[in-house]
Structure 1
């Protein structure tokens, strides 16, 4: 390990071990957030937040110190060791301080994450420590992110073969259940909500299995099939997501859906797909997989959803929407939201006009529940059964929710964010009494490509109408938000815009506001320390 196992070297080794493990834990967290995908990581580094990451403590300061050591005229090994000891002591104390402030980020402890962290640690140990070259030890201080990135690429090649084997097994398993009805759901937004509501409504008559949480990839669906008992299942509801053309087609190849729901198509993940036409192509992979005797349901108010319907093999194609000009098969009308967080609406469909009421937040829920009602009617669920189920619907685990945090009311929409969802959250914010201060805290919306500025300007205008205060927590979209806000400056409700890029400062701000009767909308992901603090105290 070292030339001599003396106490001095052992202390250095211990500090090095802590430093290396904590670094690799943090770097693995970043890769895990991006699902170990190069395209998503590349997109992250194209943002201001990603670019500023290269200038942080992990690289900029370390590069300076490493070059200082390399070129400093230190000839005595004792002096070099003292320098290394001092450096690792400071490094470990820095990590400990972040741990105490709850700003240290770490991945979910999956097998892949643990394997990556251990592999990176052993890789550095073998090259740096066993080489007995102190210069190499210093070199790895600036090379750790590249080490784990290299190992991600290697591991992806290995796991690809394992993934294909798992998918093959899942495809064979589900193919043996000839009577199983599979319903696929996709769209730029709303697919998780539709999945939850559809499953609850169909449960009035059938035995239902649905993909859990945000499981919507080929490997996620395949693994779920392999660990699930399909013997007692009538209908399998599958959420399908994608970042590239071909990914939904692969899921359809596994489950062979008979019914397909396309909720909406917008420029979500545009930076990954490259164009709205590519997004449309990817989402339509589900509808093209529906057999001739199946059912396709999509959004008449969204041109990208409806314009290619005539090209499908499926004979029964139905649409829903609010605009009568688009001639939807199921017309949604008279949407009303109530103070006790309920939504009411009517639909004109088959039997005539039907009225529904659901104990859910937001007028947008009518568009999430209606396609589920249409599928239920197709599968023979009675109107009475549907009405009963709708009146008792529960939101999904990560759906938008409202709860108290001290005296403050939190509107939690932190699972994800897109332009339509952001506007729906702002609508809920405005449903609270206008006498209460309204605050929006957001990082903005990601992966919108060339539409980024346009959508953030639009949301900036909406915030000007809806909120008293805006807190922006990353630097990427400050200018874009401000462009929309400036167009309406001093004309509407918004009085103050702040930028708080520090997770610690943001936590302190929210703690302070929790002592006041304010309404706080949390839009898109929040720093972990903030989320843990709020969840702990609700």
Structure 2
């Protein structure tokens, strides 16, 4: 009897250690996908997600647990010794992962802690009430599903709490009748346009804008409740969307009088399901602008210009293509050490004016990010001279593509996120460096492109062929389409795969004292940022 009690205690302690670390690992993946069912489902369809499904904690351990249940169901003592062995092996495995810095843990947050605590509590209560060790093996089999269920329940509860925040945020903003609210949405360019616009308008007005990547309904609402708008003239809101209705919900809270739709492409196609749904979601901003407001969008983009005749507000457009008659036509952008941006704009008072700017930005693509800001500044009464001065002071935001020295090498950092147009723009920046320097592209590919993913990765690989000498792929998801799209007949390019973060770090370190330009496209492991952050400067390399 005493032996059984000791065994029970050992099993309980081992279970607690193993279950805590294991549940934290599962929670890490949910947090990575913002605890959203749609994003997690999309993750499971990728090679990285399939690797997760076939991993030891999800598949193989469950299979072993089923085998133990089947063969040792009636052998209580032998079953307990087997369970102890099971957990010891589990803890040894986790220790190995910890030593090699491969143990996955979520970022500390109330939601992550709740999921961890509730999941462990459910398992503990289940075991205590049944007094059946078979249940412990069953728990190991169903744990991933149990955690998913806890996430769903917590999401439902937080949705109710969110509504309270939405009501309070809307009520607070209504107190500031003179506050001009500007909404920005689009498949890409939102954050950069927000940063440029806040800089330009900040030359004349007191501007408040949502910080960093806060663009969700709850993030925006919390920011509103924490912010003093008493001295502000303008509030700029970046609005993200993963489903139809997301943009409309934010518009119902903030009631923007000016809206900017930057562009529409296949970004998040796997979540929306179709381009029509993406278009409908992004258009929610322009449709929400009142008659006395201003709706601004990209006339070069077919999805942006399609339904402009249905917008009740005044419409202003920007673009390069003259045939679409943009209000702000980008005539030219010479890219080099000193950029010159020339735009032909129809100003509010009816004057057609060709204006030359000298922004301190990187990349020709930024013309399309600056142009809508010029339209807003004109609409809000800034003079031509004030706009010129403000645009000339614009520089690259931290989240935008930027470059810096890393020893003798140059890093072109576009690791904030990625989409087809953004990737091409980054390649344009890379191509501007002398061809005598070795050019390397390091990327994980582009996420959430749905059924167009393979096609778009093949296309971008073709673009890489013209620009780069080497392509390094750092996740398994898009290896095949990227390799398939490489065009060796135009240029010999070395393609390598480095999915291990430490191997990738060693490779980058090996390039430090060579004359090379390295493009980081889309997110890279944190140890890479830890290495490179030591060399970042405010100046462009």
SS of 2:358's partner is strand
Taking structure 1 as reference, are residues 122 and 337 closer, same or farther at Cα in structure 2, changes over 3 Å only? same
Q: Which residue of 2 aligns with 1:317?
A: 315
- After superposition, the CA RMSD in angstroms is 2.2
TM-score (norm 2): 0.92
Name the stretch that deviates more: 19-28 or 288-297. Answer: 19-28
Kindly indicate whether the alpha-carbon contact (under 8 Å) linking 1:167 and 1:222 is maintained by their aligned counterparts in 2.
Answer: yes
Taking structure 1 as reference, are residues 497 and 232 closer, same or farther at Cα in structure 2, changes over 3 Å only? same
Residue from 509, 513, 516 that aligns with 2:514? 516
Taking structure 1 as reference, are residues 170 and 86 closer, same or farther at Cα in structure 2, changes over 3 Å only? same
For residues 105 and 406 of structure 2, the distance between their equivalents in structure 1, rounded to whole angstroms, comes to 25
Deviation at 1:515, TM superposition (A): 4.5
Kindly indicate whether the alpha-carbon contact (under 8 Å) linking 2:58 and 2:144 is maintained by their aligned counterparts in 1.
Answer: no
Taking structure 1 as reference, are residues 102 and 398 closer, same or farther at Cα in structure 2, changes over 3 Å only? farther
Kindly indicate whether the alpha-carbon contact (under 8 Å) linking 1:471 and 1:499 is maintained by their aligned counterparts in 2.
Answer: yes
Taking structure 1 as reference, are residues 99 and 386 closer, same or farther at Cα in structure 2, changes over 3 Å only? farther
For residues 3 and 175 of structure 1, the distance between their equivalents in structure 2, rounded to whole angstroms, comes to 69
Q: How does 1:128-167 map to 2 (within 5 A)?
A: 128=127, 131-167=130-166
For residues 257 and 216 of structure 1, the distance between their equivalents in structure 2, rounded to whole angstroms, comes to 14
SS of 1:456's partner is helix
Deviation at 1:451, TM superposition (A): 1.8
For residues 21 and 515 of structure 1, the distance between their equivalents in structure 2, rounded to whole angstroms, comes to 44
Kindly indicate whether the alpha-carbon contact (under 8 Å) linking 2:193 and 2:373 is maintained by their aligned counterparts in 1.
Answer: yes
For residues 84 and 162 of structure 2, the distance between their equivalents in structure 1, rounded to whole angstroms, comes to 43
Name the stretch that deviates more: 384-393 or 218-227. Answer: 384-393
Deviations 1:427-458 (A, max 9, x none): 11122222222111212111112221221111
Q: Provide structure 2 residue ranges, at least 5 long, that are not aligned to the other structure.
A: 537-541
Q: Which residue of 1 aligns with 2:284?
A: 285
SS of 1:127's partner is helix
Q: Which residue of 1 aligns with 2:296?
A: 297
For residues 88 and 396 of structure 1, the distance between their equivalents in structure 2, rounded to whole angstroms, comes to 49
Q: How does 1:401-420 map to 2 (within 5 A)?
A: 401-420=402-421
Kindly indicate whether the alpha-carbon contact (under 8 Å) linking 1:204 and 1:381 is maintained by their aligned counterparts in 2.
Answer: no
Taking structure 1 as reference, are residues 292 and 462 closer, same or farther at Cα in structure 2, changes over 3 Å only? same
Q: How does 1:110-259 map to 2 (within 5 A)?
A: 110-128=109-127, 131-259=130-258
2:422 corresponds to 1:421: yes
Deviation at 1:197, TM superposition (A): 0.6
TM-score (norm 1): 0.93
Residue from 327, 342, 348 that aligns with 2:344? 348
For residues 476 and 442 of structure 1, the distance between their equivalents in structure 2, rounded to whole angstroms, comes to 11
Taking structure 1 as reference, are residues 506 and 142 closer, same or farther at Cα in structure 2, changes over 3 Å only? farther
For residues 126 and 369 of structure 2, the distance between their equivalents in structure 1, rounded to whole angstroms, comes to 54
Deviation at 1:182, TM superposition (A): 0.3
For residues 56 and 72 of structure 1, the distance between their equivalents in structure 2, rounded to whole angstroms, comes to 23
Q: Which residue of 2 aligns with 1:49?
A: 48
Deviations 1:387-436 (A, max 9, x none): 33323324334222223344432222222110000001111112222222
Q: Provide structure 1 residue ranges, at least 5 long, that are not aligned to the other structure.
A: none
Deviation at 1:144, TM superposition (A): 2.1
Deviations 1:114-146 (A, max 9, x none): 111111122222223664433322332332221
SS of 2:184's partner is strand
What is the aligned residue count?
Answer: 530
For residues 431 and 166 of structure 1, the distance between their equivalents in structure 2, rounded to whole angstroms, comes to 47
